[in-house]
Structure 1
Amino acid sequence: MSTSKNYAGIPDEFAQLEKSKIILIPVPYDGTSTWGKGADKGPEAFLEASENMEWYDIETDSEVYKQGIHLTDPIVESSSPEAMVKAVHSTTKDFIKRNKFVTLFGGNHSVSIGTIRAFNECFDNLTVLHIDAHADLRESYNGSKYNHACALHEASQTTNLVQVGIRSMDIIEKTLIDEEKTFFAQEMLNDEYWMDKVIDAMTDNVFITFDLDALDPSIMPSTGTPEPGGLLWFETLDFLKQVFEDKNVVGFDIVELCPNKNDKSPDYLAAKLYYKMLSYKFADQDVDQEYDNTYDIDYKSSTNSKFEDDED
């Protein structure tokens, strides 16, 4: 159980909403998982591990927590997958409009439907960088289009979707992928230029959705659907660092941590991954420098009305 009301136990002066550049929204949701259960316990395990993490990042020579990281109340909505997506969408969009750098920690991957929807409504020409073992492109699964197996279907229709690390999918998804923007794990293994190719496939504004089962089970066994042959730690960091350096990353989420009470190391890995991503984003920004995510709020009225009709 997390013992601090602040993310990573940081001092109150760096955790206040008004002074924080960064927002962290926990979404303890596991309503549509189909095999390993426990993603609803992921945010709590992540926060507990974060409290045992050093605040100084050696690689970037920075203490990103001093930019201000505000931990919100968790989004707890279990009445239906649709209601959960609607709550995530609304909360995420509200903080984006406050000019915050918004991050979320799930929960299973279905929470990202609402997250991506909010960012797509607020940022022009958005790329969704999807790092995952699974394509997650099915239009519907087990009777719901808000299933974790459908997490990126909407993004495939409404954003520039780039998928990295894919090594498992249903045959129906073969008809839905964009082969020029899908980087399969077995092909990445023998392509020393895969990172550059991913960068080239993206637009300037990028939202990252990181499913922890993209990582190899040797370092990340605590997921609902682990797949062999995944990314390792330093190649993942090398790739993410390049993305943050070359693109305007406007936000991100991390999902699918299913904690194991007998092995805390995956929880700690998730905590370090989150902090590293923040460190890459803000490494070159002074603590006192005002954060400006340089977007024009251009809400897509047709998109809004379509989704609102679906949710009602």
Structure 2
Amino acid sequence: MSTFNPSDIGVNNGNIFGFPYNKDAAQIHILPIAWEATASFGRGCAQSYEAIRQASLQLDFYDDKGAFWKTPVYIHEALGEMLNNQAAQKAANLINHLENGGQILDRKEEFDEINALSKALNALVEEHCGKLIKQEKKIIILGGDHSVPFGLIRALSKDQSFGILHFDAHADLRPGYEGFTYSHASIMHHARQLTNVESITSVGLRDISPGEVKIIRNDTHINVYSDKYLANQRLDLRPFSAVIEEILANLPKK
């Protein structure tokens, strides 16, 4: 660390921000997940972690809250790439099949294959996160479609209770979507099934299905601050700090 100059050019050494920390020294571990099989529209998020890593080399490090660059951060090699290579194109073809009027039962074996690969991805992420949790490391999941943090959520839920603060345009509360059990549109559905997940607080929702609205209205452990609600607070000239305090009041201690 003595050779790192935060005012100098970012060095492309494989780590985020060009930081000089290795895996053993790091307090914060970034796990990139190269998975986009259940993405409904557009492709590319499986490789987004690398675009972020490359862009991070262009950042400057001054912050009035302190020298955050002194915090040891390390980005791992991506997980799930082999699974994604098996699943992504097949899943895209299956989504196209449904969008053109096909039925899940027409190609049930193929849907089952994608669901099995999704399950394997969740287990892989859970395994890696579990090891880091035992070492008392902080974990950031980066990249991939919205289904990928479920392995981390499940790993955390094994020995602690907590709430989830969820920033998203969508509720992700569907039991399944487009034939995929572990869809990007289903992660909060699966999270709410875990005993140690005390609550889900979703902020910014603006695109939501009638079925998800019914779930929200019937589950006292789900709190929603929609995009419309936040916009109305601004129109009413309510300080944003007051809105934040309202949201935080619904969160458990952890």
TM over 0.5, shorter chain: yes
Distance (whole Å) between structure 1 residues aligned to residue 147 and residue 121 of structure 2: 9
Distance (whole Å) between structure 2 residues aligned to residue 146 and residue 139 of structure 1: 8
Identity %: 27
Flag the 1:122–1:64 CA change in 2: closer, same or farther, 3 A: farther
Cα deviation digits, residues 11-62 of structure 1 (max 9, x gap):
2xxx12222111111112111101121111210111011111112323x1x2
Aligned equivalent of 1:156, options 192, 198, 208 = 192
What letter matches 1:7 in structure 2? I
Aligned residue for 1:49?
A: 55
What letter matches 1:43 in structure 2? Y
Distance (whole Å) between structure 1 residues aligned to residue 206 and residue 135 of structure 2: 38
Equivalenced residue count is: 198
Aligned equivalent of 2:206, options 161, 167, 173 = 167
Q: CA deviation at 1:156?
A: 2.3
Aligned equivalent of 2:133, options 88, 92, 96 = 96
Distance (whole Å) between structure 2 residues aligned to residue 204 and residue 33 of structure 1: 33
Aligned equivalent of 1:64, options 53, 63, 68 = 68
Aligned residue for 2:182?
A: 146
Cα deviation digits, residues 167-189 of structure 1 (max 9, x gap):
11111111212476111110112
What letter matches 1:31 in structure 2? A
Aligned residue for 1:199?
A: 248
Q: Equivalences for 1:1-312 in 2 at 5 Å?
A: 3-11=12-20, 15-58=21-64, 60=65, 62-76=66-80, 77-78=83-84, 79=86, 80-124=117-161, 126-158=162-194, 159=197, 160-177=199-216, 178=219, 181-191=223-233, 192=238, 193-205=242-254
Unaligned runs of 5+ in 1: 206-312
Distance (whole Å) between structure 1 residues aligned to residue 141 and residue 68 of structure 2: 17
Higher gyration radius (CA): 2
Distance (whole Å) between structure 2 residues aligned to residue 122 and residue 49 of structure 1: 36
What letter matches 2:193 in structure 1? Q
- Secondary structure of the 1:161 match is strand
Please say if residues 15 and 53 of structure 2, whose CA atoms lie closer than 8 Å, have aligned partners that are also in contact. Answer: no
What letter matches 1:140 in structure 2? G
Unaligned runs of 5+ in 2: 1-10, 87-116
Q: Output the aligned Cα RMSD.
A: 1.7
TM-score relative to the length of structure 2: 0.73
Greater RCO, CA 8 A, separation 6+: 1
Distance (whole Å) between structure 2 residues aligned to residue 69 and residue 136 of structure 1: 30
Aligned residue for 1:301?
A: none
